[in-house]
Structure 1
Amino acid sequence: MPQDVTFDLPFSTPVSPHLEYARERHLRWVRDRGLVRSDAGFEEYCSWDLPQAAARTYPYASAEDMTVLMNWFSLAFLFDDQFDAGRPDRADRVTEVARELIVTPLRPADTPPRVVCPITQAWAEVWAQLSRGMSLTWQTRFAASWGRFLTAHCEEVDLAAAGLEGTLTVKEYAQFRRRTVGIHHSIDAGERSRGFEVPAQVQAHPVMERMRDLAADVIGFMNDIHSFERERRRGDGHNLIAVLRRELGCSWEEAAAEAYRMTAACLVEYLELEARVPEMCDELGLSEDERRRTSMGVEAVQHWINGNYEWALVTGRYAADKDTPAAAAERAGRGSVDDLLSVN
């Protein structure tokens, strides 16, 4: 399944004009904070081009905020790669660090982490910046989504450590993937990137709740398709194509085709609900300002669907043919060249 599989998305999104300005500062920050510890790790990280992903998903952020968002992006991706299949005991350390990442937004900003490693220290710094100017309601919503994402990551690691990652049914996997993809809090960050907040009554409405879930499904399934070759190289069974092949007893090609069909179906349902947003606004009796903020919230979802898709087509993270130290580590069952869960 090649990385360049395309989807027919009905909307396009802009790219931040601050990409290069923020990229330079972000890459220096990653080095300074010890989030890459080797030349091989830095080369691999640069090949992912996460700055482009941030510039596409948060296109209206200021230059300084774009740097903060890039810094935040790095943490989730780098942490995701820290599990070592050859050391199942490492799952306990992953859980310990995840617990620290979860509680950070629940403490006063600038509180030093209790569990110390490069990722927890960097997250404490980034959260103080990311939460600035946002209401307690937004911070609580973000923290809840962030916590569910990290909890699901720990569940994924536990399954892998126990050799059970290939045991979920398609239905179970789809529900699980909705949490592991980490989209709900990423959409929330779209509000921070433009200095607004979606009205609480809109966030609680079934239409918006379902739209956010479907966006997570679309992005998670597209990600599984585009990253399939990398995950097969790593021996990672948490991928929709792998789950479908096992459950349906079909070929890889047939499983990939079914994954594509499922993704397209979720996108169709999302678009049907998006068309109902004006009706939802009328039902809730929203003011002009509330409607404007709701519209910006929908744009935040669109930016993530399309921006992540455009980045996934070109990022080196999902490249099928790689002959690098990082690829060698993946084939050996290690998620990353550098260990970021310990302190040197």
Structure 2
Amino acid sequence: MVARGGESLVGEFSALRGHLLSVVYRLTGSVADAEDAVQEAWLRLSTLPATRREEIRDLRAWATTVVSRIALDRLRSATARRESYIGEWLPEPIVTPLGAPAADDPLDAVVRDDGVRMAAMVVLDTLTPQQRVAFVLHDVFDVPFSEIADLLGCTPAAARQHSSRGRRAVAEADPPPRADPAEQRAVLDEFVTALTNGDLSALTELLHPEVSLTGDSDGKGRTARRVMTGADTLVRFVAGLLRRYRPGFLDTARPVLVNGDVGLHLPAEPGGDGYRALDEHVQAVVVRHGRIVALYDVVNPDKLTHVPR
């Protein structure tokens, strides 16, 4: 057993921060929940009597279990909140600079993982809390089923079944893999150019015939209330937007990374002269074979509190 205290304890726990944030974010889809859970785990660890801390043989395993319990409570609460949520529900986006060197922020390390891209996180949101916890903890972080069973309050066999069902649902959904960054950036540039010029023909060429647009606002901003599917449908929708917002409203849009993939951040802009005010948006763009296959538009201000501006 190794005595833990002072700077040694701080350093050992800090080294786990990126891992723990990744665990909770995958389980809840919330940056705020991830940061809160990691902070709570630190408080529990730092206030343990020295003798109890020395009994922890594997700090990574101990901390993973603690944040997973917290995440499970948050996940169940979020599932209940969705019953009264207005419109579609999307994960809270992790927005990082495009083209900047890797920062020391642990979230920058989290988004490098292919499994937290927005398309993959949306699939995780379709699972039950039990399936999500069992699948993520076992398949991604190699947590034994015996520990997952203790966490879920079920048998190891039931935990294994939850994981299997989650794995099957993810496989059947087949979320698009992360495209090459250069390809993503080229498509994003063409997308912005087409929108800026109002070139609906060029826009149509960029969109996959079965492209989808999912908006998230909870009634606190303007976006699509329901999932929109099909290139023609989206082009008509965009044409309407171009008429309703002030000319040049895209001039302040900046390319960013959203969960590690290219996207756009549109700051809020005032309206006037018959034009609507523009809400703040974070849009994730999913590219496959040179075309946009999905757009995720987060407008709910409660999910944009961590956006660097």
TM-score (ref. length: structure 2): 0.29
Q: Tell me which protein shows more strand as a share of its residues.
A: 2
- Higher relative contact order, structure no. (Cα contacts within 8 Å, ≥ 6 residues apart): 1
TM-score (ref. length: structure 1): 0.26
Q: Tell me which protein shows more helix as a share of its residues.
A: 1
Larger CA Rg, structure 1 vs 2: 2
